[in-house]
Amino acid sequence: MKKIVALLLAAMMVVAAFASCGGGNTKSSTESKTDSKASADTSFENAGKGYDANVADADFGDEKNAKLKVWGPDAYTKLLKQQCDDFTKLYADKNIKIEVVVQSEDSAATQMQTDAKTGADVFGFASDQLNNLLNAGILYQIAPKYAADVEATNNKAAVDISKSKNSSGAEGLYAFPETGNGYFLVYDKSVVSDEAAASLEGILDACKKEGKKFIMDVGNGYYACMFVFTGGLRLDGLGEGNTQLFNDYDEKEVVASMKAFSKLMHDYKGTFQSDAVTAIPSGFTSTATRAAKVGAGIDGNWDTAGISKALGENFGAAKLPTINIDGKDTQIYSMYGYKMIGVNANSKFPRTAQILAYYLSSEKCQQERADQLGWSPTNNAVVESDTVKNDVAISALLAQSEFSIPQANVGAIWDPLKNLGNKLLADDTDPEKFDFNTLLKNTIANING
């Protein structure tokens, strides 16, 4: 506990020091410690003007010859190295050395908590890990003038999910938003028309007629959550002991949603296939000896390049479809998260590390990731770029974000939802007779069991 408090105090000291440097900030260090909404503070006159307008040479303090370790996922490694090289050239007089190491975002938080002192100075992580990292005292609070600019230039949902309260009770930004992260519908236009892609019934019918599969990973809580979210159940933060809180949902509506999904799984048995998302890009691919076997699936922006390559001009992408529940076409809801960039509170070069993290989340770097990797941006200017407007996959992800639940403050939901999904699909589940009410109640109980 003493260590965590010490780290939090250190973080506050660094934030205060940053707040007094450059960027038109006229506040004192003491005042800056308690900023709760930096972008609303007019003293940050460069808020909204981007990275270049907000970083001053004085922000580095006396840090020179900094040696930083940066973690990023395998698919991003080549571009990440280039962006880090660009950063070191931009500040050649600082003689900064950066080592890029492959580390996926979904396990980065776990690795940091195992041994933060030997972990990365700057690292990407999934949004649902923010609280765990904060509780472990691993994240620095973002300097107020940088936070003001981030809040002014990125979408509100991405900023809100990156916030928390510090030890004094003031709200602050604890990570830089990097990219949206979620899933959507992908389909072969030669199998599923754009019109048919609007409803799950239309998609399954089109795939069945062509002898193709519709694939989604029913046995994965990340995707199975849609079965209850579509019925109106929502995550509502974490309570004491990290228990998962829920909204005041209508049990009948959630049960009706579960039944509707289960019925389609059984009515289209042989067409509806539960499999890992990795089976989707390969399933779209035709070879000399095997025809493509997949007509549509639910996948994410991490597989866009492979799917686009496999389907070529027949590549289709859209928000998740509707499903008919008790005679009403209802939009399917999903989980939608963000990838963030954090700064290790144990870094020997915290100023340089934070400036690098800010740079990697900037409009320039987000545009490069959208252009080269197809990553969905959080930066407002990049969202409006031609790259995004002309990319059907990014557009689909952004469209689905309007019908999604934020991947933040997530408790132990994954295994219980996995079990729920598998039960909806099971051969011995008769949708007309099965007790979905008990399944829902047991799932909720197991989440907080």
pLDDT score recorded for residue 43 = 63
Strand 294-300 to strand 213-216: parallel, antiparallel, or no bridges (unpaired)? parallel
Main-chain dihedrals φ then ψ at residue 122, nearest 5 degrees: -130, 130
How far apart CA 345 and CA 327 sit, in angstroms, is 53
Q: Categorize the per-residue pLDDT at 24 as very low, low, confident or very high, splitting at 50, 70 and 90.
A: very low
pLDDT tens-digit profile of 51-75? 999 999 999 999 989 999 999 998 8
For residue 51, give the nearest of 167, 224, 176 by alpha carbon: 176
pLDDT tens-digit profile of 328-369? 999 999 999 999 999 999 999 999 999 999 999 999 999 999
- Rounded to an integer, the average pLDDT of 157-184 is 87
Q: Categorize the per-residue pLDDT at 409 as very low, low, confident or very high, splitting at 50, 70 and 90.
A: confident
Say yes or no: domain 182-336+406-447 is CATH 3.40.50.720.
no
pLDDT cut 70: percent of the chain above it: 90
What tokens were used for 376? 């969905």
Distances (CA, A) of 288 to 280, 285, 291, 292: 19, 10, 8, 10
Kindly list the domain boundaries of the chain, sorted by start residue: 2-180+337-393, 182-336+406-447
For residue 324, give the nearest of 278, 376, 256 by alpha carbon: 256
Query: Rg of the chain's alpha carbons, rounded to an integer?
Result: 23
pLDDT score recorded for residue 364 = 98
- Rounded to an integer, the average pLDDT of 405-416 is 90
Q: Do domains 2-180+337-393 and 182-336+406-447 have the same CATH topology?
A: yes
pLDDT score recorded for residue 416 = 98
Distances (CA, A) of 383 to 57, 159, 201: 29, 15, 31
What tokens were used for 37? 């909404």
pLDDT tens-digit profile of 179-238? 998 999 999 999 999 999 999 999 999 999 999 999 999 999 999 999 999 999 999 988
Which CATH code for domain 2-180+337-393? 3.40.190.10
The C-alpha angle with vertex 60 and arms to 356 and 43, in degrees rounded to 5, equals 90
For residue 320, give the nearest of 268, 397, 213 by alpha carbon: 397
The pTM is what? 0.80
The Cβ-side half-sphere exposure at 185, using a 13 Å CA radius, reads 28
pLDDT score recorded for residue 22 = 36
